[in-house]
Amino acid sequence: MTMRLLQLQLCMELKLDESLYVNGVYEVSLDGQEYVMTETTTFDDYGMIYLVKLDESGVTLVSTQDGHLRNMPTDPAEGFDIESRIYVLGTYGGTRNYLIQNDKLTATDSMYQFLGDPSGELPELTVKESVNCRLEGGNTTLKAGDVIIPQAYSPDDGTFYFELPDGTAGNLLVDLSPDGSEGQMTYSGTIDGVDENELFENLPYAG
């Protein structure tokens, strides 16, 4: 089957919405199993990756993951770096590595590493009010006027990792479900019950 015919068959199988376009279709061979990875994008640059299994039964969608492929690895066993859009104290591109395990895209780490702009520079967040956090050496409090540089985020426990301008590493906890509702998208969180917009100046949200 040619790549063009395969792409057409995948589009029919996945029933892609008209708002999506296909960035690329990649053949993946892993431990004797053949897959096809299809990367799509919507009008607002939101990405979705579809993992399709090829076998004697035909074409079967087995896994999906939001985001865009950073690159295709030479060896699929090393995993796939996927960049997702992360909304926490701003909007960031965050990458995680995913392995194909049991026909599923499975993250190798709970943490998203932030990428910054094309030059790799990350925004600086200025503190407006006192914020409890943890720095190297123990618990402390950020004061108004302090600056932090976002580094990573773990959605599993809500930990937001940052550095001070001098390179000191720190972290704080962000609650993205302040109303207690689970599974609902929210672009605003709280820290110790205080809305993030009251604690930091001009958070760089987008999209």
Separation between Cα atoms, residue 22 and residue 4, nearest integer Å:
12
* pLDDT value at residue 117: 77
Q: pLDDT tens digit string along 62-103?
A: 999 989 998 888 899 999 999 998 989 988 999 999 999 999
Answer yes or no: are the C-beta atoms of 107 and 97 closer than 8 Å: yes
For residue 104, give the nearest of 67, 141, 53 by alpha carbon.
53
DSSP summary character for residue 10: H
Q: What is the pTM of this model?
A: 0.83
- Residue 180: pLDDT over 50: no
Burial of 84 (0-12, 13-18, 19+ CB in 10 A): middle
- Residue 34: pLDDT over 70: yes
Q: pLDDT tens digit string along 93-127?
A: 999 999 999 999 999 999 999 988 777 789 999 99
- Residue 18: pLDDT over 50: no
Strand partners, 80: 98
